[in-house]
Each structure stands twice: as structure tokens, then as C-alpha cells.
Amino acid sequence: MEIQALEHERRMKAARGDKEALEHAIAAAELYMKAASAAKTAEDRRRLGRKCKELIELGERLKARTKGTTADAAVRRPVPESTRPLTTAEKTIILKASRLHGHVFPPWDSAPGPETFSDAGDTPYTDPASFSLSAEQQAMVADWLRPTELMSAAGESDEVLDQLMTARAELDLAQDLATDCSVVASLCAAARHFGPNQDSLLAPLMYPYDHKAMRPQLSRSGKYVFRMYFNGSWRRVTIDDRLPASKTDRTLYVVDRRNPRLIWPALVEKAYLKIRGGYDFPGSNSGTDLHALTGWIPEQIFLQSDEIELDEIWNKIKKAYDERNAILTLGTGNILPEEEEALGLVKEHDYAVVDLKEEDGSHLLLIKNPWIDSLVWTGVGSSATLKAHTVGSTKDGASNQFWMVFEDVLQHFDSLYVNWNPALFSHRQDHHFRWEMPDKTEELVFTHNPQYSVLSPSGQPVWILLSRHWQDGELDILRQRRAEKEHAHDGGSRDSSLAIVSKQLGFTALAIYATSPPGTRVPLPDMSHRLHHHLLVDSPNILLRYQPTPGVAQTLVVKQSELPLPSYTFTLSFFSHQPLTVAPAPPPLPHSLSVRGAWTRRTAGGSPAHPTYYTNPQYSLTLPQPSPVTLVLSTSTHDLPIHIALVFPPRTPSSSSSPSSPPSPQQRVTSLSGRDILAASPEYQHGGTAASAPRLDAGTYNVILSTFEPGQLGDYTLRVSAAVPPRLEPIPADAAGMLRTPVPAGPQHTPCPIIIASSTIRFLAPVTLVRQTRLSAIATTSPSSTPGPGVVATPPSIRLSLSLGRPGPHATILTTAPRSGDFADLTGTPNTDTGTLFKGVPPAVGLRTGEVDVHPDTARRAAGLWVVLEVRGGYSGDGGGSVGPEGVVVEVLSDGVVTVGGWEVAEGD
């Protein structure tokens, strides 16, 4: 014990501040007190007592100097815990998340009593759980041995047993055969918080713990209990003290090179690896590991981002590190093999930051490679001007530590992981939820995303931590991908961090939106209303910091991409300085329904610039009462440009049917003008889009879903929301179940009139019915409408109708296209319109009349049923050929057999 006290005195003198010196002074005083009590001679008792008194007096002076300082206050503030009552669903989530890798890790209820660790005699506790090993590890394992068996050569005296839990010198942890660089880097970075002091993070982490000696205590039963935070709760992790002994001098667990008999780091490592799947753990990141070990808030700072501000980040982390409010680790990216050797850095590897300082105007980090035989930074290409002994030099002879200037860190490392002391905040609120992954067609919209309304009374910072719960399926994916990686091994590093395989686990992100009404659900990503966001990342933990708008509810959206499993559970933790009001965000409109469909080769008609636009999927939307309406369209083909148009339905004249005919079903829109469009989404957007109308009268409307180009295929989901229950029904595809009968040309060698640009000519074609028939007419451009030699092309305008009786004062026009009665040119634009149907998109080529029901007797009494095509302008020439409109094809669509005669020419205007 005296030797340990001397070591604390040495560390006290080398301490970087009064706070750290005080911790070592207290530890040394307590050890001298114990040593004095156990001394065998009076002289030793007096000598040790004097040392104890001197250190107590020194400690009082140090305490007086540190009392009330910011660092002391920050460390000793209470850690906030969520006191929000959980719903039954949330309690179920937490309980189900207790099962992992065949084990049960129940939520933490209370610390285990001393009887849990009392002497078990000849039957020490044995954990029934088995720990998986990689093939390389299995080849190296001799047996699983208890600490006394591992240290048998040193005997089992009290002094030897005490060394199992007491560090005689500063920790120097290292990793060998285990593939858990992130775990060992985490332990190295947190070592100063695991020291023998009142604020040690080991005290609430590991049981049994000697609070007087301020260190872990040896369990006589061989059982150890750990309190770790994962899957939304502090949980109980129980292990025995057996460790995998190696056949060689290499180790399968973390070792302390300065304290070779110290085993508590290996026990912490074993407990953590139990919840992560075993010693063949495919890897993680140190921010995630430290979150589980300490509960401190993890943040990943991407050092290669263009938004990085060097001085801002340095000042932030330096202040927090000095105040013991931050634990720092680093991760490299995919460094080329030749760069690894030249730089002394390992690709896709995690490092610990064990000190920060400013020297000669430079910002320096002391970085530790957790490998036992590690590469260290060579200083090649360093951007700093430093003393020769500074860059790459080690501390206290540690061969795996090196100083590096912050500019070089930004250049050679991908990520800085910061774990923040949650005691920086006074309030915490946890919410737990299950997320069933949406259909692929709804991945790019927010119709199924978890969303929360967040209301802060002030503008003070709020931190939101999203934590994805671990589950067995993820470990299976990691192991499979790692096996594939090793099978195609390219000579890279021996260790695999999560960076190699984590992208197989998908990505998540958080975003804050301003909504109307405030705090309601967001239908899809909208840059104009997004206030704060975090990029999609492959880590299970995401931290979003933001400044709220005081007194105004804002909407938090959880986003995902490529999450491979069908369902997940998550926890959202809100950290703040004042109480927040957080609840699931309500929808702005209470009633919703959705339908799924697809653009196929027959229905992918393209934009209004194409004659096939009206073949796109159409739906009838019925509202029983006036209501606002929102429509959200999304597709599984993420790069597919899509559009929604909400339009008036076609009119069906009541005179077209016999009195006994059934009511007409909803008809497809076959022509449009600007006045028909009630609402439309922005011009063709990729993957997802939305349209809304602030108020629609009760009634039925048509919805047209289109892609930009004909033939662009993909599945889609359409979701409609309203203030009243809407009804949405598909309208059968164009001519679905109907016969198509083209209008033939007139008799050969009948002179075709010359159409002058300012004149109008009327073409007529008789239609003969056998029985009552529903029919319409459609006009499109001819596949080959190029005029012959000597013919001058002038774009014609047309009007298409179905008429009872030959056109004249006694005829009845049943239906007309365009519906307005105006002429439309061959691009479909009514000549009274100056714009286009959709902003920046030319209109369609082709017209279609509405559907009408006509009985043969009705047609006979009216002197026949006629297709009427009126053409204004067009091709001028010398006539000749068959009678018919040049460049236009007209067909009759009917649900029964009809006969259509050839074109006749009627009088023109």
C-alpha cells in the first residue's frame, strides 16, 4: 500500500491542475492511513501517520483553491435522468430489447448487494453464456482461466490479489488479438475518468467496487455485474471472471503494459463484448462504445467536412476536455497501404486522445494507438512548425503515443468522436418508439417516419440524441460482410472497425422543420422549411444540436436510408437547460388513405408534352364535405421524376343517355386547360413530391400521376389526407375493356380541300350503333405527319366532338374536346390560353372527348351519330389524295361494336 501511495504522490506532483492533484493527494492519504494501521512497528506507524497528515493538509489547501471553480462545478453537477412516465408500448419496447444474442440484459433496478460477490467456496460463479471467437482466436486459445489461475506463478497473496484491481502506475492499455480497437481506444481515452477519485466513472459501472479505496474490488464469487447503457435503458450485464488464456505470449484480451496483473479492464471489455456478440466482434466506433460504458452523450464530428471551423472546434473541445466534460477519440478512413507505412497511421482504425495542449501557437493532441505493437505518426507532411522532439514523440516512454497538431488531425483522420458529460444539462427526456420500415415506394417521403413536436420555452440550446437499438439481425449482417471482406482481403489492416461493414447497416439522420400549424407532421423533405439537420450517417447514434425558436413548436423528423431489417426500435433523448414539451407530432389533416400502383409500359404516358399523357394512372377523389387536401406521391425508383395534378373531372352531358341508363362512373381526363387544374406539385421532382389545395368543395375530382418521359416505369404510393374521410378509386386505364375503331379516310381521289391558315374545315364521320353503347373519340398526331414535297406546314388547331345529327342548328353536341369549346392546336393548348398547362412544360399532343352513353334509337331519331373534327389552319397545297385531316388520327373508343364510316367534308367557315 505504501508503494501505491508513493505512486499517487508522484502523479500528484505531475498533475496538470489542482483538481487532478487533489484526487491523487486524497488517494495517497487514504493509502498511508491504511498502511499505518497495518504497520508492525510504532516507528512505521508514526512515519506513515505523518505522511497521511501532511497529505490531508495539502489536500485541504488544494480543495480551497479548487472550490467553486467551473471545472469542479461542471463535474459535480447531478447527471439528469428522464423521469417521464413511459407508455405501455414503450415499456414493452424496453423489455423486448433486453434480449440480445441469446442473453437477457434486464433494465437496471438497483446495485447488487455484497452477498452477490461473497466467497463461493469451491464452486465459483460460472456464466452460462458462451463467447464466440474468430478462427484465428480459436487457434490461439488454450483455455478459459480465472484471474488466480492466470496469475498462479505469482501466488495468491493479498498483495498479488490486490494488484488484480489496483494500478501501481498510470494505465497503458493495449489491444492484441481482439478485433475491438474501438473498445480499447475508448478505455484508453476514458482512463483518466476511471482513476481513484470520487468522480470515477468506474464506480457506477462495475460491481463490486471499493468506495473507500476508490477502485474496483475483487469478487470472491467470481461474479461481476456491470451497469451499461444500451437499447434505451441502463441495463444489468453479468459475467464471470474467466478470461481466454493464449497458447503463446499474445493476448486475447486488453492488457495494461505498466500493470500486467491488472484485470479489471479485461473484465470491462468482456462485459461489453458480451452485449456486442463476442470476441470476434466485427467492430464499432468509440463514440458508441463510450456511450454504452459511461452513458456520456456521443457526437461524431466529420473532419473532412467543408463546414469545419478549426478554431471553433478546438476551443470547444479544449475547454470541455480541461473541465473533464469530454472524452475524445479519433477514427481514420480508408488510407492506402503505402500511405499507412509512410505516415505511421492505420486505415479504418480508432485512436484515443489522452491529452491536449497549446504550444508555441500550435494546437496539439496526444494520440494513442491501442495496438500493442503499434504504428505511430511519423510526422511526414506535417503542416506545423514544431520542435524536433515534439511531433511523434511519446509520453513516459509509451511507444504507442504521439503528439500531432490539429491541422494534421483534420487532414489524416475522418472522424473526431466526442462523448459529452450529460451533467452539462439539467433536464433530460427519453422517448422510445418502434419503426416498421416503409414500403420501398415511400422511402423518400415522410409519411411513415417517426416525428415529434418539440416546444422549448426559451432559445437555449437543445441536444437531441437518436440511438438505434442493437438487435441480432445486425450482427449477422456484420459478420457476413466481414467474412466477405476477409475472403477478398487486400493486405489491409489486421483490425476491422465498423467503418468497413457499417454501411451495410444503413443510415439515419435527424432534421428540425418549421410547420403550419406548428409542430405538425411533415409530409416530405422540404428545404425551404428545414431549420436544422444532421446528415445521414451509418452510426447507431446521432446527435443534433440546435437553437429552438422560443415558444413555437417545431417538428423533429427521424430519417433513414437503406436500413436492411424490417423493423427497428429507437430511443430519442432530449437534453436541455429547461423543461421541454415533447410529443408525437399530430398530422395537419386527421384523415388519410393511401393506394399503391405502378407506371407500366401501357400507363407510363409521360408529361403533358407527350400525346400519351392521358394514359397515365388516374384516380377519382371524392370528398363528402368541403376540406383542404394534401396529396403525397412517392416511388421506389428514387431517380424517377414524378408529378401530381389535381383537376376538375370531365363533364358528362345528361342528354347523352337514355332515361333508363345507369349513372356514369368517374371518367378519365382526356384534355386539360390551365383553368382545369386545381392543384399541382412542383415541376417533376425525383422520388417524391406533394400537392395541396387549401380548400376543395364537396364533390369528386380527378388525380393524374405522371412521369416526365413516356416509358419511365416504377412503382408508386399515393397518400391523400383531408379534414374529412376521403374516398379514392382508380379510374380504368384509357380504353380499358373498350374497342378502338379508327375513322378511315374518305373515298380515293376525292379532292381534299386546301386548308388556308385563316379558314376552318369540318370533317364528319358517321357512327352506327347496334345497342346502347358508351363511347368517346380521341384525336392524336399521325405517326407520320410530315407534309410532302411542295407542301408548306402551318400548325393547325382542332376541335373534336360527338354530335347527334349533322352539325347545324338542330344538332345536339354531346361532348367536345377541348372541354371549353375552344380550338386547340396540335400541341393541345387552347388558343385562348397563352401559357402552358404546367409551368415550364409544353402541353400534350392529342385530344379526347368525354364518354357518353348513346342508344341506337336516340341516334336514329336525331339523324345519326357523328364524329366531328373541325380543323383551323393546317397544310396548304394543291389538294388531291384521300379525304381526311392531314396529320391527325381519330379513333372511336366504345364498350360495344360500332361501325365508323369514312370522312366527309362539310362546309367551312
| Edge-to-edge strand list for the sheet holding 688-696 | 591-599, 714-722, 627-635, 688-696
Rounded Cα distance, 718 and 621, in Å: 12
> The cell 394543291 sits on which residue?
878
Contact between 271 and 207 under an 8 Å Cβ cutoff? The reply is no
Given the residues 8, 24, 193, 349, select the one marked as catalytic: 349
3-state secondary structure of 551: coil
- The four Cα atoms 250, 252, 254, 259 give a dihedral, to 10 degrees, of -50
The β-bridge partners of 100 are: 103
Q: What angle do CA 827, 828, 834 make, to 5 degrees?
A: 90
- Rg, C-alpha atoms of the chain: 39
Instruction: Count other C-beta atoms under 10 Å from residue 601's C-beta.
Output: 8
Q: Is residue 349 annotated as part of the catalytic site, yes or no?
A: yes
Q: Is residue 231 annotated as part of the catalytic site, yes or no?
A: no
Q: CA nearest 855: which of 653, 659, 650, 654? A: 659
Amino acid at 431: H
Rounded Cα distance, 9 and 817, in Å: 97
Residues 6+ apart with CB under 8 A from 900: 741, 742, 743, 744, 765, 766, 767, 768, 867, 892
The torsion angles phi and psi of 262, rounded to 5 degrees, stand at: -70, 120
* C-alpha cell read off for 85: 412516465
3-state secondary structure of 448: coil
Cis preceding linkage at 818, omega within 30:
yes
Q: Is residue 181 annotated as part of the catalytic site, yes or no?
A: yes
Check residue 903 and report its DSSP letter: P
Contact between 845 and 611 under an 8 Å Cβ cutoff? The reply is yes
Q: How far is CA 695 from CA 226, 588, 673, 691, in A?
A: 59, 14, 20, 12
Contact between 843 and 672 under an 8 Å Cβ cutoff? The reply is yes
Query: Per residue, what are the HEC states of 450-487?
Result: CEEEEECCCCCCEEEEEEECCCHHHHHHHHHHHHHHHH
Strands 581-584 and 507-513, sheet pairing: unpaired
Given the residues 8, 24, 52, 181, select the one marked as catalytic: 181
Given the residues 369, 419, 541, 616, select the one marked as catalytic: 369
Check residue 674 and report its DSSP letter: G
Rounded Cα distance, 691 and 403, in Å: 57
Strands (E), 231-302: 233-240, 243-246, 255-256, 297-302
Q: Which long-range contacts (CB under 8 A, 24 or more apart) does 302-307 make?
A: 302/414, 302/415, 302/535, 303/409, 303/410, 303/413, 303/414, 303/415, 303/416, 304/333, 304/410, 304/414
Residues 6+ apart with CB under 8 A from 825: 795, 796, 797, 798, 831
CA 486 to chain centre: 28
* C-alpha cell read off for 723: 379534414
CA diameter of the chain: 138
Which residues are marked as active site? 181, 349, 369
